[in-house]
Structure 1
Amino acid sequence: MGFSSTLDDALSQSVEHAINMITAMFEMPRQQVYLLLSAAIDFDVTQAVDITKGVHGLIDLSMFQQLPDYERTIRDIGNSRWTAMRRMPYWPSRLRQVTG
């Protein structure tokens, strides 16, 4: 998710956060995540009328099913540690500190 005074900047933030999140969740190289997400993420405008614009990305995590830690990672998303992280603004950038 990204927020800014312009939709372009909000989209850039959202892309960066999505890359950081998937990189941290699945311990994949950043370049590989960028390539995968360029074809597999859908962005929607969260808010456009307010002064602060918002964009969020939707990622189908099932495309990572072949990864060795997929089941553990998906299970961990529901635990309290990740739930608390999701409540923080820009939680993907903080995700690395919790998982790493």
Structure 2
Amino acid sequence: MGGLSAAATLATNGQRVLLLEKHWRPGGYAGSFVRGRFEFEIALHVLSGLDLEGKRGSLYRNFESLGIMKRVDFVRVDNFYKAVYPDMEITVPANREAAEEV
């Protein structure tokens, strides 16, 4: 997403941009693949930097300048990460202070 964001920012500011992508689908880690009836996310699970407890993060400002915030409804999640094992679960809250207690 870094390359796409940089290219979009430059183009929005009037620069000519040539964006090259190694893969046939743009986006790098912002994608997925299908095996059989299952779809797997490659790596991107959470976008951080959109809103830091009421303060606009750097990603929010970047998306806002590109007009993305007006066109996409982002969903705030309570938990940043959850791992489920046969004998235990580990849940990491999205809130920094609560996550530090885990």
Q: Which has the higher contact order (CA 8 A, sep 6+)?
A: 1
**TM-score computed with the length of structure 2 as normaliser:** 0.23
Question: If each structure's helix is expressed as a fraction of its own residues, which one has the higher value?
Answer: 1
| Larger CA Rg, structure 1 vs 2 | 2
